[in-house]
Amino acid sequence: MLIGEPRKSVVREIKNLKKLAYSDEDCDVENLEWISNIKEYPYHVIQEVNPENPEEYKVLKFNGAKIKKDFELHTYVKRLADDEGKIQAIEFNMEGKKYLGEVFDSIPFGILNKNRTGVGATTLEIEAKRNSIIVFPNKSLAYSKSKTKDSLLYVGSPIGDSTSIISPKDIKKYIDEIDQRRSDGEEVYKKFLVVADSLPKIYEVIATKKESFDSYFLLVDEVDMIQSDVTYRPKLEDVIDYYCKFPQSNRALVSATIRDFTHHEVQKEPMLIAKYVNKEEGQRPYQITHTDNPNKAVAEYIESRHDRKEKIVIAYNSITDIKEIIFLLPEDLRSKCGVLCSEESEDKVKDYYVELVDGKLEKDITFMTCVYFVGVDIHERYQLVSVINANVPYTLLSIDRLTQIRGRCRHKEGLISETIYYSTKEDNKYKFGDISKEEYRDRLLKKAGKIIQLYDAIDNIVDEEQDGEMRDEFDSLFDKVKPAIQRYATEKVGNLEVSLTRRDIDGNYQISYFNIDALVEMFDLLNNLYDKKGKLEGKYGLEIGDTLHFEITKEQEECRKKVQDKKKMRKDELMTAAKEKILQLHDKGRLTTEEIESLRNEKGQRDIERYYNGVRDLYEYVEINKLLSFLDEDPDPREYRNYKNGVIFKALEDTNPFKAALLAKFPVSETYYSIDEIKDFMSQKVEECLNRKIDSSKNTLMYLFRSFFTTKRNRYGNGYKIVCIGNRDYP
């Protein structure tokens, strides 16, 4: 279908048209006078259109990608049903072609919904005649692709024969080598194959060398993985910050399962959708089983199937539950188990950690977490088991994600079998009642927007202060306040707390749009798929079987305790090592917020982030050994919050409006104050002085009050008197 009517205003100078249409061996230009340049932001299509018959046309270039001359691209425009009729998406038909490289000479810019796995998107960009930075979902795929040509550079942590971390110096050397090869007449391009964590390194080197980002194309593969996994891998969202720094015509987001985006900049990207004449051979799961004990169900499956001489792959996004299953297995089977997971989790699984090299499974029984749900190629047949535990939100799997997991098998005969075990949770209804996921998204955006307003108000206080010393003091204070706001301004799903804001790569606080995308997906799955038995089977047209019931046995409880004990032991080891580093910095006079955050961001420290945050927030107010002794006890969030409130209140000047009001109202005396009187006054002053509203009916106000004062309760239990200013339990 024609993209749009050829505009008469288009310049038809032959020299410009040749440049515009890139009329070389990749573009078959027969009638230069027919060429039309259709620009309808952010879409750009160059086509030959017969002036006498507009239905006779041929697309030459589609959002920057040239169409192969032996292929006729057919497109269909989807427009919004509003007055402006803006383009919502452009669909294009693959016309029986299997690979994108049979249609385009490069990836078109924008969001590319390829609609199928294994259609060669990254391969096409590797072969494209331009400099590229390709962000892969995991290092296994990035590394394996880098071995296909000697001109490619893998940038990530060690794997295979890449035994050391690529340094900025290595990247500069590679750029110089490619430049030299081009000077020598070789047709070769800079191609960086990276994982998300390594993208900043490349960006900084390119910026340092003063190369133009216009000379690179940034491709982010499997972007839906970032949307789903960002809640527990927050640095993933930084990829989108870098993405937005590239010109729109030099960037693309790709996936076979594109979801809606909340991010305001990503929403402006052109949406391109691949369509296929032939239907993809769908494989229904061999079996879908509802169970009240997924871990025991998987252990039983492994024990009953392992002797078939067939490999088993279990997709389960929970290291804790994976370890429980392994401990449930007999000793001889444990040695046959391996875990494919992120490097961050490597230390959690220790000897079970394996890597996927050249598409081969190292172990007979392989568990894999979300890092391996997309983008990797496994060139063996195996029994696939996918697991959803509705009590653990980050194990939830959408139908699209189940399709992605199934697509990891690239053997020509496909999977041996596919089994899905899932549990349900019927009490998931959102606290505001029955609302749609769109309404839920709007609520999250409104909540996040209010938090951003709070950050802005803090910045305004600093900007408006004329006294230089006072301004610096406020700046220092609010540098500590902002991270605390971010930490507590969350949305809770089950036991998972998700931040609604984040610091971008420039250090500015922004709405965490991808966290919101992840929350909306969890909300949708919990409320519309995993809330009742039978809904998942219905999606695949399968009959609903009996629930597989397993009691929690003493053996399983012991395995669970063993996992938790090992988890605590590892956490204690991390905290001991962190304490030693912090004390060394303190003794050398180098303990600063920047140094603490640097330690926190090191590999393997995610499980003790709260420990580092506690040091960062309070090291200037509490003697370091006392502070570390408190944090060594691993206080729960409420206990830490009370401690922090007490410390900060004591550190405030007595002239501070909030503190002064409380000291005037509640002096040290024999007077007892009723709980209602305390709550009402606290609620009023918190709102007046701190711009925060707390419902006076909630216990939060009493926790806050008792963190500020040491109190004694009357014999009736309904009143308190002030014994001293500051809680004696806190320094």
Angle 341-343-346 from CA coordinates, rounded to 5°: 70
Q: Which residue has the tokens 């610096």?
A: 472
Residue 19 has pLDDT above 60, yes or no: no
pLDDT value, residue 492 = 84
Residue given tokens 């003790």 in the structure block: 608
Whether the CB-CB separation of 526 and 396 falls below 8 Å is answered with yes
Cβ–Cβ contacts within 10 Å for residue 348, how many?
Answer: 22
Contacts of 420 (CB under 8 A, 6+ apart): 285, 287, 288, 289, 385, 386, 387, 388, 402, 536
CA distance 238 to 241: 5
DSSP 3-state assignment of 375? coil
Contact 443, 432 (CB under 8 A): yes
Does residue 478 carry a pLDDT above 90? no
The neighbouring-strand residues paired with 382 are none
Residues 170-200: tens digit of each pLDDT: 999 999 999 999 999 999 999 999 999 899 9
Amino acid at 214: D
Tens digits of residue pLDDT in 297-341 = 999 999 999 888 899 999 999 999 999 999 999 999 999 999 999
d(CA 47, CA 60): 5
> What is the percent of the chain where pLDDT is above 90?
45
Higher per-residue pLDDT: 696 or 663: 663
Helix axes 319-328, 554-587, angle to 10 degrees: 130
pLDDT at 656 over 60: yes
Cβ 286 vs Cβ 126: under 8 Å: no
Tokens of 440: 């839920």
Q: DSSP secondary structure string, 162-177?
A: B-SPPPHHHHHHHHHH
DSSP structure class, residue 185: T
Mean pLDDT of the chain, nearest integer = 86
Lowest-confidence range among 69-78, 424-433, 511-520?
A: 424-433
Sign of dihedral through CA atoms 302, 304, 306, 312?
negative
Q: What is the pLDDT of residue 34?
A: 57
Count Cβ atoms below 10 Å from residue 169 Cβ, excluding itself: 9
3-state DSSP assignment of residue 91: strand
Other C-beta atoms closer than 10 Å to the C-beta of 723 total 13
Nearest to 567 by CA among 366, 326, 350: 350
Q: What is the rounded average pLDDT of the residues 588-599?
A: 86
d(CA 117, CA 100): 11
For residue 179, list its beta bridge partners: none
The whole-model pTM stands at 0.78
Is 374 in contact with 404 (CB distance < 8 Å)?
yes
Q: Tens of pLDDT along 250-259?
A: 999 999 989 9
Q: Residue range 584-613: average pLDDT?
A: 85
Cα angle for residues 473, 475, 481 (degrees, 5° grid): 105
pLDDT over 70 for what percent of the chain? 92
Confidence tier at 433 by pLDDT (50, 70, 90): low
In the sheet with 719-725, reading across from the earlier edge strand, the strands are: 673-674, 719-725, 709-713
The answer to whether 514 and 265 have CB atoms below 8 angstroms apart is: no
Give me the helix-helix angle, 468-488 and 609-618, nearest 10°: 160
Q: What is the DSSP letter of 211?
A: -
Q: Which residue has tokens 């252990």?
A: 299
Tokens 């399962």 locate to: 257
Query: How many whole angstroms separate alpha carbon 414 and alpha carbon 516?
Result: 35
Task: List, for residues 453-476, the tens digit of each pLDDT value.
Answer: 988 888 888 788 777 777 777 777
SS3 14: helix
Cβ atoms of 295 and 552 within 8 Å: the answer is no
Q: Which CATH architecture has domain 287-428+532-551?
A: 3-Layer(aba) Sandwich (3.40)
* Single-letter amino acid code for the residue at 563: V
Per-residue pLDDT of 366-401, as tens digits, reads 999 998 998 788 999 999 999 999 999 889 999 999
Query: Does 486 score more than 90 pLDDT?
Result: no
Q: Is 516 helix (H, G, I), strand (E, B) or coil?
A: helix
Instruction: Tell me the pLDDT band of 440, cut-offs 50, 70 and 90.
Output: very high
- What is the pLDDT at residue 36? 67
Helix (H, G, I), strand (E, B) or coil at 730: coil
In whole angstroms, give the CA distance from residue 488 to residue 22.
Answer: 54
Tell me which H or E stretch contains 400: helix 399-406
Report whether pLDDT(282) > 70: no
Quick one: tokens of 344? 């961050």
pLDDT tens sequence across 23-32: 334 445 455 5
The CA-based diameter of the chain, rounded to the nearest angstrom, is 98
Give the amino acid at 649. Answer: F
At 291, the amino acid letter reads T
For residue 673, the surrounding DSSP H or E stretch is strand 673-674
| Residue range 539-555, pLDDT digits in tens | 999 999 999 999 999 99
Q: How far apart are CA 396 and CA 372, in angstroms?
A: 15
In this structure, what token pair is assigned to residue 160? Answer: 């295979």
Strand 65-66 to 74-79 pairing: unpaired
Q: Report the pLDDT value the prediction gives residue 10, as an integer from 0 to 100.
A: 31
One-letter amino acid of 508:
N
Q: Of 248, 255, 265, 42, whose CA–CA distance to 135 is shortest?
A: 255
Q: Distance (Å, rounded) from C-alpha 680 to C-alpha 652?
A: 22
Most confident of 239-253, 562-576, 669-683: 239-253
CA distance 274 to 698: 53
76 touches 91 (CB < 8 A): yes
Residues 445-479: b if buried by 16+ CB within 10 A, e if exposed: bebbeebbebbeebeeebeeeeeeeeeeebeeeee
Q: What is the pLDDT of residue 12?
A: 31
C-alpha gyration radius of the chain? 29
- Per-residue confidence (pLDDT) for residue 233, from 0 to 100: 81
Identify which of 108, 182, 106, 121 has the alpha carbon closest to the alpha carbon of residue 151.
182
Question: Tokens for 625?
Answer: 């050994």
Cα–Cα distance, 183 to 172 (Å, whole number): 17
Buried b / exposed e along 676-695 (16+ C-beta atoms within 10 A): eebbebbbebbeeeeeeeee
Whose CA is closest to 88, among 103, 67, 110, 59?
110
- Domain 114-265: CATH superfamily is P-loop containing nucleotide triphosphate hydrolases (3.40.50.300)
Beta bridge partners of 384: 313, 418
pLDDT confidence of residue 279: 67
Pairing assessment for the beta strands 87-93 and 110-113 based on DSSP bridges: unpaired
Sign of the Cα torsion 153, 158, 160, 163 reads positive
Contact 501, 447 (CB under 8 A): no
Cβ(206)–Cβ(213) under 8 Å? yes
Q: Please compute the mean of the pLDDT values over residues 293-297 and round it to a whole number.
A: 97
CATH code 3.40.50.300 region(s) in the chain:
114-265, 287-428+532-551
Structure tokens at 679: 């709550």
Q: What would the pLDDT profile of 128-145 be if each residue is shown by its tens digit?
A: 999 999 999 888 888 989
Q: What is the pLDDT of residue 262?
A: 96
